[in-house]
């Protein structure tokens, strides 16, 4: 087993966040379709926060990888 690099670790974190963000957005869509507007908005907020986390992680990774 090899030791992961920082770049590989950042890439995995970004991929996990991207997948979680997509699932949160899907949950929001499904709840909206079932007339659970308030809960759908909460999941949409979770999705948007994960997008922000991806952005911040990307900035952090660029600083570390340069």
pLDDT value of position 62:
86
Q: Lowest-confidence range among 10-14, 25-29, 38-42, 57-61?
A: 57-61
**What does the alpha-carbon distance between residue 62 and residue 10 come to, in Å, rounded to a whole number?**
10
Angle between helices 6-33 and 37-65 (to 10 degrees): 170
| Mean predicted confidence (pLDDT) in 33-51 | 95
This prediction's pTM: 0.83
Q: Is the pLDDT of residue 65 over 60?
A: no
pLDDT value of position 7:
87
Count of CB atoms within 10 A of residue 56's CB?
10
Comparing 61 with 46, the larger pLDDT belongs to 46
Alpha helices in 1-66 (DSSP H): 6-33, 37-65
């Amino acid at each position: 087993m090899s030791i992961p690099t920082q770049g590989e670790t950042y890439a995995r974190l970004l991929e996990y966040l991207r997948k979680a963000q997509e699932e949160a957005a899907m949950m929001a869509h499904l709840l909206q379709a079932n007339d659970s507007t308030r809960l759908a908005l909460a999941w949409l907020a979770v999705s948007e926060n994960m997008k922000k986390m991806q952005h911040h992680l990307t900035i952090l990774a660029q600083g570390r990888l340069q």
